[in-house]
Chain A
Amino acid sequence: SSELTQDPAVSVALGQTVRITCQGDSLRSYYASWYQQKPGQAPVLVIYGKNNRPSGIPDRFSGSSSGNTASLTITGAQAEDEADYYCNSRDSSGNHPLYVFGTGTKVTVL
């Protein structure tokens, strides 16, 4: 199966922009979805498809993709954006489809 690799941790100053990347072969074929997870809470969907935000997700969150890399950008990071972020995509490299999560990125807002 494929792997999705993310930087373990990134930091961003309050109000600045941070980009979180996710690399993997499956991203050449499938879109990534992105999840925010705060301590002790379940993951929450923030981006899916080409660049779609669920209802209630602020427009400072955006997604993009190029080649084998998907990116989640937070423009004007807020203190409440401090969390772990995971990407996910479908992977059909085996006999049956499965889904793979990225290794996760811890975002610290300074």
Chain B
Amino acid sequence: QVQLQESGPGLVKPSGTLSLTCAVSGGSISSSNWWSWVRQPPGKGLEWIGEIYHSGSTNYNPSLKSRVTISVDKSKNQFSLKLSSVTAADTAVYYCAREIIVVVPAAYINWFDPWGQGTLVTVSS
């Protein structure tokens, strides 16, 4: 059973770079899945940040694209998130999740499962 675990600094200074890693266990990051980052500001809803395939292909939320880099390290079975030029608005719980996609005739079906437990990152001086 695949499990995900986020790790990284819980406090980042304004204008700095947020860096998080998601370790994948119980399965290979090179399987036919995409791997995503999702965040949730305190008391607010979920926001999809971006995704990566084991080949290194990425897709990003256009609202964050200029500041986001997602990378994969197949040797360590993990993927990472970097968010630059952070402000207080980037304070959130950051989750990593596996995305499963099934394409059948006339249907595109995707879902996120499982999710990591999440890690709170606070942007403050």
**Cβ of B109 under 8 Å from chain A:** yes
Work out how many contacts link A and B, with CB atoms closer than 8 A: 73
> Using Cβ atoms and an 8 Å threshold, which residues of chain A touch B11?
none
> Using Cβ atoms and an 8 Å threshold, which residues of chain A touch B109?
31, 48-50
Interface residues on A, range: 20 to 34
**Known A30-B108, A98-B62, A103-B45; contact A45-B117, beta-carbon cutoff 8 A:** no
Secondary structure at chain B's binding surface: helix, strand, loop or mixed? strand
Q: Complex Cα distance A88/B110, Å?
A: 9
Whether the Cβ atoms of A43 and B95 lie closer than 8 Å is yes
Interface residues on B, range: 20 to 34
> Using Cβ atoms and an 8 Å threshold, which residues of chain B touch A102?
45
Q: Complex Cα distance A100/B45, Å?
A: 11
Q: A49-B107, A99-B51 are in contact. List 6 more A-B contacts (CB 8 A).
A: A30-B110, A33-B112, A49-B109, A50-B109, A104-B45, A104-B46
Interface residues of chain B, those whose CB is within 8 Å of chain A, are 36, 38, 45-48, 51, 59-63, 95, 102, 107-118
Interface residues of chain A, those whose CB is within 8 Å of chain B, are 1, 29-31, 33, 35, 41-45, 48-50, 54, 86, 88, 90, 94, 96-104
